[in-house]
Structure 1
Amino acid sequence: MVVGLLTGWYGAITSDIGVDKPLSSPSSPLQATPSTPEQQQQQQQPPSPATTPSPLYATPHHHPGTPTTPTQLSPHKENIPVSNHVNNRVDTIPNGHDSQSSGNVGTVGGMEGGESKKRKYPSDRSYFIAKEILTTERTYKKDLEVVNVWLREEVGKEEGLGCEPLTQLFQLVDPIYECHTALLKDLDARLAQWDGRASGANKLESQRVGDIMLQHMGMLKLYEQYLEGHKTILDGLEATLRKNRRFEQTYRDFEAQKVCYLPLTSFLLKPLHRLHHYHLLLDRLVRHYGSASHHDYRECMTAKAKLSQVIKVMTPTLLSSENVVKVVELQRDLIGIDNLVQPGREFLREGCLQKLSRKGYQQRMFFLFSDVLLYTNRTTTPVLQFKVHGQLPLRGVMVEETESRMGATNCFTIYGGNRALMVAAGSEEEKVKWLGDLTAAITQAKSRPDDAFHYLSLKSISSSDEVLDRSDLGGVDEAGGQVRTGLGEKAGPPQQRSNTTVHVCWHRATSVSAHDYTLAVQNQLSGYLLRKFKNSMGWQKLWVVFTNFCLFFYKTFQDDFPLASLPLLGYNITTPGEDDQIQKEFVFKLQFKNHVYFFRAESEFTFSRWMEVISTATQNSARSSRSLGHRDTENESIRL
């Protein structure tokens, strides 16, 4: 997963994790990014691909007249270097001449970028909830395109690739994509009427969204089919990756492209997550309307009820699939282990602890599952991978708090078999989380029968922890830009993402739990924000997508891949203080050590939503007792 080293303004996103190094590419594709949506649309007319896709993976027919026609693939697509993944820092995004905005962010012209005349937004809360449905729908359609357009085209170039799971995937995703192309078109037209950018409809017709959602609920049958087939596809892909080297290379090469800004398996779960988002947003609308006297209430309630029926059936399967996806990803990050993926094995927590050894405390990555605790060390390769150094079956494990030793605080000891591991967490909060999850997992493990356990096959594990300590002396640059090998030991690996949770947990000495992942998928958001320049009073408008504990930044929602990303684990979110000298409303501040970013929302509602989703995305958030949507949260820190 991500990224080659680059220099100049095209810097390393995760240099804010530690070392602030510029990264560059002399011929960066970002330099060719159109500065306006109109210029983008003119450039998105590339010639037909030189290679005609095979009939099996042929690009599907798409509806005309959509905001972004899927067959008009971006000219950047063919030039995306495998070694140049999304790994840039926010403050290294190029500042085009059109990027600065000093206007009122409470206007359509100020944030939508489509009008020179400033027009005030509707003030009703229902408008902003409906707009959130639209903005997140734009992102969802782009996510579907990753599979239905970009992946389809990529594998179509490879004759005889032999992957039946992909054939099944395309057959299920294509009709869903068609439905959402039409839904997005309807939502876009409705919101244009609602905020006054289009005319010709009366107030009752334009200021509602329930009718549109209800009209498109026929797509739920497609989702039921997807729910039924997606688990087979996930299992089939994992099996094919292990058996088919050619397919694995194609798969890894595609994951290394910028358009695939998340692990591919994450995109396979997006359709099921989207139904949850619809349900949450419709529920907010219904609660806002309050009663059937509102002209949009009944249709929102009916659409919500239809979604509820599917979600009730879907949730247990989705939780299982999320666990499979996570364990499969960890299998790719861990070296020296063959059989991590096992029926019944559940991921619980991953993160950094300081382990006491003969050399003192050494940083180690721990992975807690429902039946076993793994402790690992970073490898000496240029890849941020971890070699499994030991396993502790939970049925024989005990934990206890211990006194500080050798200057370390927040210590506890893990006893297992004939081993006693003394570890230190980075904070009291981290220690409490690890002890809580370990204690609960040990209790549950002891209640299971013996045949429920699958012991791992570890390769060449030394009894001395010191054999791996040489990896602490060099190798991985904290700024990112490492390569990863995928499943097993492969030659010529693509570049590694530096915004994955494993990568970020290692560099920021924190941890993430399964519950954090559940919260993260429930709190996704898209929309325009203004980002303050570091060394001037100017602001730059960016399309921002929040997903998978990370902010992804685009110039416009029409872009096929992000310019940069910002992993948020370890960051604090606050409102600016007096010392920050920010004389604007609706601004929030993100800070990790000396890395500070200011973002400005278009309204009080969107400000409160960004504060809410960022602060609740992980269990690391320290929830404020006061409302996040009001200015009285000033200077109140929320741990991310």
Structure 2
Amino acid sequence: QIRRKQYLFALQIKRDLAEERLTCSDNTAALLVSHLLQSEIGDFDESEDREHLKTNQYLPNQERIEGKILEFHRKHVGQTPAESDFQVLEIARKLEMYGIRFHLASDREGTKINLAVSHMGVLVFQGNTKINTFNWSKVRKLSFKRKRFLIKLHPEVCGPYQDTLEFLLGSRDECKNFWKICVEYHTFFRLFDQPKPKAKAVFFTRGSSFRYSGRTQKQLWVIVLDALSLKPFSFFFHSIFLFSSHPGIPVDHPQLSSLMLKSPLGLNPAFQVNLNAAGQGSSPLLSPVLSDAGGARIEEDDEMKRKRYPTDKAYFIAKEILATERTYLKDLEVITVWFRSAVIKENAMPEGLMTLLFSNIDPIYEFHRGFLKEIEQRLSLWEGKTNAHVKGDYQRIGDVMLRNMRTLKEFTSYLQKHDEVLTELEKATKRLKKLETVYKEFELQKVCYLPLNTFLLKPIQRLMHYKLILARLCKHYTAEHRDFADCRNALKEVTEMTSRLQHSLIRLENFQKLTELQHDLIGIDNLTAPGREFIREGCLYKLTKKGLQQRMFFLFSDMLLYTSKGVTGTNQFKIHGHLPLHGMLVEESENEWAVPHCFTIYSAQKTIVVAASTRLEMGKWMEDLNMAIEMAKKSTEKSDMLLENSVCNRSSDEVSLEQESEDDIHSSRSSLDRQSHHRANTTMHVCWYRNTSVSMTDHSVAVENQLSGYLLRKFKNSNGWQKLWVVFTNFCLFFYKTHQDDYPLASLPLLGYAVSSPVEADGIQKDYVFKLQFKSHVYFFRAESKYTFER
């Protein structure tokens, strides 16, 4: 019975490919067709394959990728028809657009768009690019009137403005059909039990008589767990969801048609459905409380969940994989969705650069969408409350990791091109004013919460995260554990990839940091010159005739830069001076100048005296300066030409105490009109306001310790706890309402903060709580487990 259903679903996918209803890359389409060939004609035979492809049209553009189809088919030798059909289904279910059916519509401005519905909510596409998602938890009511489809949002989502969104479909019937599909999806995926039929009115009724009839996802979950073993379950469960919730899909095959739901049609002119059914409030996971009110309720819910969920450390390690994968996918969307939309809208990027950028990152994004779905499914099974006797089969993650790490190796060639992508993008932004403007304006959008080119490093950095997480799993497991072998083999696979890409990552992280500084500094050109390495940035006090003045210093492998007094009107710093490292000498000079934590920098150009905020900071600067000076001595290349091409030279007296004029400090004001405003939460700005410094080594360690997950937050003087999705990256905590949000509500830069456990005076009587404090600013965060707390 299961084999028959798999075959029917494979036929549906075959038809979707032929009718261009399944959106995917050429590589994926070729792979799907190759498995269909294996199922239909058996093992590879080039002449037979070509003849079969001539007489059977699997794809509209089949001839263009015929070579890829044959190449993939060659690898399937020995695969049975059943195995081939199963592979077709496994590949299809991981695709972002699998099960998505477009409905042509337009918005209030008349812009042509596509509407679709999925398990998460109502989706809005422009072409094949998703531009918005209205999650079920944010939607209060769906209705339609004639050709107008209306989405009413909860007040906390939209605020006092535009609580109703309106879309225009082609006809009343199309609008009604789409509304009915939305009702069925919402009922199926959001409710625990099927809704009870309403009592019939005695005389007449208003509104729709349409109600979803059938089991919900929760009910099917219990039934399937009881009936199916692991392998057939992993596909069939997913497939039955998709087809049972797509009654609008036309299917000619009579056996497939019999699987579809039949729904009565109403005749009233206006219908509406309230999405908050009685007793079905929004999930606390999807709609956590942001205000202090309700903190106790979240606290009680969290206690109940903690008792119900598994307590094995491996479960929480797997949960970390899931949480960080969700954040990683959102980071990829900054490039693949948001930035792409920005450059297409303004037609700002050359076609060649567009192809280079998106052809390298789109396949990676598509792979990780499928990978995330697998992890989510496995964690859901791990947390399942039924079938305790078979649940153990799901309480592991190594098999999922091993399978996907092997697949990920095929994308190494894409990752190796990221160096070229970053370089070409930087060149283009310097050359094309329009692209530069779009780039800078995009970095100011909420969704771009980090410097834009930081997101291009995420794919390689993610491999490092997999390596560290798998190493923790292997360390936790005993050699006899059933998951140990898969985790160890997955670790070997990812270690092989990271070894090949490690040198490239170091170079890319240095280049990314140099370009970030190039954008945020005024008075310097060509900071990204080949051979230059970033070492440290931070705040020091420079001794002038007016006394100690706060300055920003930037140490590179060939020079030391320092800025004027403070931040300009565009949140940038103006370079005031530079010192080459060749011939430089650094000496501690606290006794000479009677200034705490003071040291003197002697160079061929001038001598300056600076002081750090603490002895520890002074030690860091002196150590890095001495190391950089020694490296410069050993360098065979002279950096004089490099400096002349990089920094605008100033004529100055070679004195230890330098007088700076206000005219010089504000000389960059004339260029402010040409500069877009930069965000003020980069490490440079945080170092300035927190009076500290950060090295490239610190950046590398921070990359290894990126985290995501739900935490409970409490302020020093508040009573309740707030549940927030928290992302820790780039020395900063970013706070979201849920993991599905596209941009953070707020951020907390952590440089200068101290982390500790609460003391008795804090009055925190809870487990797994840590305290963050900077001067009088105090925050408490509560984790769900000992493992998460220690991480």
Provide TM-score, normalisation by structure 1. Answer: 0.76
1:284 aligned partner: 472
Question: Any idea what the Cα deviations from partners look like across 1:28-59, whole Å, max 9, x if unmatched?
Answer: xxxxxxxxxxxxxxxxx997676979xxxx99
Structure 2 counterparts to residues 431-442 of structure 1, below 5 A: 431-442=618-629
SS in 2 for 1:527: strand
**Deviation for aligned residue 1:132:** 0.5
For residues 555 and 330 of structure 1, the distance between their equivalents in structure 2, rounded to whole angstroms, comes to 31
1:346 aligned partner: 533
For residues 390 and 62 of structure 1, the distance between their equivalents in structure 2, rounded to whole angstroms, comes to 57
Cα pair 1:168 1:233 within 8 Å, conserved: yes
2:231 aligned partner: none
2:612 aligned partner: 425
Which AA in structure 1 matches 2:514?
V
Which of 767, 771, 776 is the matching residue for 1:585?
A: 767
2:392 aligned partner: 204
Which AA in structure 2 matches 1:509?
N
Change (3 A) 1:468 1:149: farther
1:411 aligned partner: 598
2:132 aligned partner: 73
For residues 535 and 423 of structure 2, the distance between their equivalents in structure 1, rounded to whole angstroms, comes to 21
Change (3 A) 1:468 1:301: farther
For residues 527 and 478 of structure 2, the distance between their equivalents in structure 1, rounded to whole angstroms, comes to 49
1:244 aligned partner: 432
Structure 2 counterparts to residues 499-514 of structure 1, below 5 A: 499-514=681-696
For residues 661 and 359 of structure 2, the distance between their equivalents in structure 1, rounded to whole angstroms, comes to 47
For residues 48 and 395 of structure 1, the distance between their equivalents in structure 2, rounded to whole angstroms, comes to 64
2:291 aligned partner: 95
Change (3 A) 1:187 1:398: same
Cα pair 1:337 1:458 within 8 Å, conserved: yes
Change (3 A) 1:376 1:68: farther
SS in 1 for 2:647: coil
Which AA in structure 1 matches 2:782?
R
1:536 aligned partner: 718
Question: Any idea what the Cα deviations from partners look like across 1:371-402, whole Å, max 9, x if unmatched?
Answer: 11111124573122222222111111000111
For residues 557 and 284 of structure 1, the distance between their equivalents in structure 2, rounded to whole angstroms, comes to 24
Structure 2 counterparts to residues 221-620 of structure 1, below 5 A: 221-291=409-479, 293-378=480-565, 381-404=568-591, 408-451=595-638, 454-456=642-644, 457-459=646-648, 461=650, 463=652, 465-468=658-661, 489=671, 491=673, 493-609=675-791
For residues 563 and 614 of structure 2, the distance between their equivalents in structure 1, rounded to whole angstroms, comes to 20
Cα pair 2:559 2:579 within 8 Å, conserved: yes
For residues 570 and 651 of structure 2, the distance between their equivalents in structure 1, rounded to whole angstroms, comes to 21
SS in 2 for 1:260: coil
Cα pair 2:549 2:565 within 8 Å, conserved: no
SS in 1 for 2:299: coil
**Deviation for aligned residue 1:534:** 4.2
1:123 aligned partner: 311
For residues 577 and 789 of structure 2, the distance between their equivalents in structure 1, rounded to whole angstroms, comes to 46
Cα pair 2:122 2:134 within 8 Å, conserved: no
Change (3 A) 1:160 1:127: closer
SS in 2 for 1:122: coil
Change (3 A) 1:360 1:531: same
Cα pair 1:46 1:74 within 8 Å, conserved: no
1:629 aligned partner: none
Cα pair 2:321 2:469 within 8 Å, conserved: yes
Mean CA deviation greater in 263-272 or 389-398: 389-398
Which AA in structure 2 matches 1:103?
E
RMSD (CA atoms): 3.3
Pairing 1:182–2:370 present: yes
For residues 571 and 592 of structure 2, the distance between their equivalents in structure 1, rounded to whole angstroms, comes to 29
Mean CA deviation greater in 295-304 or 430-439: 295-304
Structure 2 counterparts to residues 133-148 of structure 1, below 5 A: 133-148=321-336
Cα pair 1:378 1:385 within 8 Å, conserved: no
- Point out the structure with the larger helix share: 2
1:216 aligned partner: 404
Change (3 A) 1:198 1:413: farther
SS in 2 for 1:466: coil
Which AA in structure 2 matches 1:196?
G
SS in 1 for 2:550: strand
Structure 2 counterparts to residues 23-62 of structure 1, below 5 A: none
Change (3 A) 1:181 1:71: same
- Unpaired segments ≥5 residues, structure 1: 1-44, 81-92, 111-118, 476-483, 610-640
Question: Any idea what the Cα deviations from partners look like across 1:236-288, whole Å, max 9, x if unmatched?
Answer: 11111111000111111111110110011000000001011111111111111
For residues 452 and 534 of structure 1, the distance between their equivalents in structure 2, rounded to whole angstroms, comes to 52
Provide TM-score, normalisation by structure 2. Answer: 0.62
Which of 148, 151, 156 is the matching residue for 2:344?
A: 156
For residues 323 and 116 of structure 2, the distance between their equivalents in structure 1, rounded to whole angstroms, comes to 20
2:179 aligned partner: none
For residues 348 and 331 of structure 2, the distance between their equivalents in structure 1, rounded to whole angstroms, comes to 26
Change (3 A) 1:108 1:561: farther
Question: Any idea what the Cα deviations from partners look like across 1:544-599, whole Å, max 9, x if unmatched?
Answer: 00000000000110111000000000000011112211121111110111111111
Name which structure has the greater RCO, CA cutoff 8 Å, separation 6+.
Answer: 1
Cα pair 1:63 1:182 within 8 Å, conserved: no
Which AA in structure 2 matches 1:183?
F
SS in 2 for 1:396: coil
Cα pair 1:101 1:540 within 8 Å, conserved: no
Cα pair 1:105 1:601 within 8 Å, conserved: no
Cα pair 2:116 2:122 within 8 Å, conserved: no
Which AA in structure 2 matches 1:463?
S
Change (3 A) 1:295 1:415: same
Q: Which has the larger radius of gyration?
A: 2
SS in 2 for 1:395: coil
Structure 2 counterparts to residues 94-113 of structure 1, below 5 A: 95=291, 101=297, 103-104=299-300, 107=303, 109=305
**Deviation for aligned residue 1:335:** 1.1
Which AA in structure 1 matches 2:660?
V
SS in 1 for 2:482: coil
Cα pair 1:52 1:157 within 8 Å, conserved: no
For residues 97 and 579 of structure 1, the distance between their equivalents in structure 2, rounded to whole angstroms, comes to 24
Cα pair 2:409 2:497 within 8 Å, conserved: no
1:34 aligned partner: none
Question: Any idea what the Cα deviations from partners look like across 1:114-173, whole Å, max 9, x if unmatched?
Answer: xxxxx5221111111111001111101111111111111222212364253332121111
Which AA in structure 1 matches 2:483?
D
Which AA in structure 2 matches 1:420?
T
